[in-house]
Amino acid sequence: MKRFLIISLGLMALLVGTVACSTAAVTPTTGVKDSNYTVKIGFPTGAKDTLAPDGPDLWALEKGFFGQEFRQDGISVEYIPFLGAAPAINEALAAGALDMAVIADIGALIGKASGLDTSLVSMGNPNGTSWWLLVSPSSNIKTVADLKGKKVATVKATAPYFYLLEALKAAGLKESDIQFINMTIPDSEQALKAGQIDAAVDGNWMGVKMLNDGFRSIDSTVQTPVGRGTTVIVARNAFISAHPSFFPRFYKVRQQAVDWANANRSAAFDLLVNNDGGIARQFLEPLYSTPFNFDQALSADVVLRIKEGESFLRDLGITRAPVNVDAWINQSVVYRKP
């Protein structure tokens, strides 16, 4: 049974194996063979049955590439979806219930600023996420400016929240000008359908499905591109110290998955469709470039965008402690292009 966590349910105890294996890779710092453990990787989702983040993580999991790389060493990779988005993921990282996370840069920055002992190790998706600000088909709301005094929902202190604030700013509004409702994306979709709220932020395939169902977009990351953000991969420093040799192998598998997807584009989309609740393929295809681009490098441009996000959070008072993004990058295990 697929497992998912939400912040209100708390955290489950997660066990890590400790038996040695003679075929395992050797950890450079200790000379000890790296073997027999499970890597717990969290990611945000709008549906409890999502297997892994769309893209290389999903393809690698479904095609068995992780097993091919790690099985002989008794290492397994497990992806855990979180409906509670970044706040729930950060709580799980703090509790040691996760080793890594594929998460929006905004959420990762908030966690780091709050004291999480994590490092930034690679990009998850440099293109971030497509977001839409949706209203019901019968709504009289035509523009973002029309949201003044209206009920608008998304998850506070997350990537869609960042997008919403940027969209409001472009229209000359602030959060205080609307009735902000802190609500998960699945709950906000239901609330919008029931007429309980006036607008909601939705993204990726979930947003595309809502558009297909007739809901109208009054703004998107096409009009407000800064709101796309980036998706990063972070890891707990305790995990990095214990298993530094895991990371280059992990990056290799993710690149193998992208290479496979570009050579088998139709099959890659079949897996995306299944992961995204069976949404029609024609609605997914516009979300992806040709060829698929999931560059894992923390390029100078990407780092600059993360720094801009860090300044944005402090300017709004969402975070108080500054995050030194350059120092946050763990140079010992960071992804490096071959």
Interval 26-65: pLDDT, tens: 555 555 689 999 999 999 987 778 999 999 999 999 999 9
**Domains detected in the chain:** 7-128+229-328 (3.40.190.10), 131-228 (3.40.190.10)
Q: Structure pTM?
A: 0.83
For 292, the token pair is 């698929």
Which of the two residues, 14 and 29, has the higher pLDDT score?
A: 29
For 194, the token pair is 């029931």
What contacts 24+ positions apart, CB below 8 Å, involve 251-254? 251/122, 251/296, 251/335, 252/69, 253/60, 253/65, 253/66, 253/69, 254/56, 254/57, 254/60, 254/294, 254/296
| DSSP tag of 276 | T
For 139, the token pair is 């709504």
Tally of CB atoms within 10 A around 225: 12
What residues form DSSP beta bridges with 42? Answer: 80, 101
pLDDT at 10: 40
CA distances from 227 to 10, 107, 160, 169, 234 (A): 30, 13, 8, 11, 20
For 13, the token pair is 């105890």
pLDDT at 98 over 90: yes
Query: Hunting for tokens 């095609």 — which residue is that?
Result: 63
pLDDT digits (tens, 9 = 90+) for 155-196: 888 889 989 999 999 999 999 999 999 999 889 999 999 999
For 314, the token pair is 């402090």
pLDDT at 73 over 70: yes
Q: Is the peptide bond before 322 cis (omega within 30 degrees of 0)?
A: no
pLDDT digits (tens, 9 = 90+) for 319-334: 999 999 999 999 999 9
pLDDT band at 21 (very low <50, low <70, confident <90, very high): very low
pLDDT band at 275 (very low <50, low <70, confident <90, very high): very high
Task: For 327, list phi and psi in degrees, rounded to 5.
Answer: -75, -25
Q: Are strands 231-236 and 179-182 parallel, antiparallel or unpaired?
A: unpaired
Rounded to 10°, the helix 105-113/85-95 angle is 40
CA distances from 7 to 44, 102, 112, 181, 204 (A): 12, 17, 18, 17, 22
CA distances from 168 to 163, 174, 176, 282 (A): 9, 6, 10, 30
E strand spans, the chain: 25-26, 33-34, 37-44, 75-82, 100-104, 118-125, 131-135, 151-154, 179-182, 199-203, 216-220, 231-236
CA distances from 306 to 109, 166, 236 (A): 8, 15, 19
pLDDT at 19 over 70: no
